Amino acid sequence: MTDIASSFLVPGQIALVTGGGSGIGQEIALVLALAGAEVIATDVNEDGLVETRARAEAEGISVAIQRLDVSDPDAVNRAVGQVVEQHGRLDILVNSAGVMTLVPALDVTPEELRRVLGINLDGTFYACQAAGRVMTQGGRIINLASAIVDRASAGRVTYAMSKGAIVQLTRTLAVELGEKGVRVNAIAPGWVESGITKQHWTDADGNEDQVMREAYRSTMAKASPLMTVGTVRDIALSALQLASAAGSFITGQVIRVNGGTMMV
């Protein structure tokens, strides 16, 4: 019998992960590396990238790191080109770079709108475009959407707009790149504790209010039939399935990893 476990491994695969300096992106980079991939983690947060590399070394694996501003299309094209030049190909792209601001729709400035969409949506598009041009049969693109695509949430209009558009981008690319044998999917995480969600209990100086943190976690847990919250590892393992042979017949899908808080 074929070894089922090997279907979830990605030995020797070349993976580029944006937003790899923190949170979900960092965890995905580590999980892919643990599963055998050669991972290049990118981010504008250089300190975060150093942390990613250190965490990898502590696990006995390696993750290459590179500063990258995904809102700069030329920089994204160069990054993908360098990967192909150094490794001969790009097998896996994970678009995890993103930001979220808490501003009511009527108060959003043009500058803030452009900043959020520039990172979340434009950055995802640029990376998909660059990767799609070089990927061949078996390539995999995984975009990070959000549970917010299935519900409205006051104060997060720019984030919601970007993530909703990413869902449609994912579906369109799945159709356009399918003939090349490239699979394109999105993950819509439910609430997990990460760099983005920490803003709910962190002040401008970076101090965390632990009472507020526990209250927020408790509220989120009660929204799930499982009465718990997820972890970044939960999201990363779903990304691994999509990146591996275990996900070979999945494309154009939005995988909701949310503990049942949204059922679509």
Residues taking part in catalysis: 159
Please name the residue that has the structure tokens 């949310």: 258
SS3 31: helix
The strands making up 38-43's β-sheet, listed across from edge to edge, are: 63-67, 38-43, 14-18, 92-95, 140-144, 183-189, 254-257
SS3 132: helix
Residues 6+ apart with CB under 8 A from 157: 103, 104, 105, 108
Residues 6+ apart with CB under 8 A from 185: 140, 141, 142, 143, 170, 174, 242, 247, 250, 251, 252, 253, 254, 255
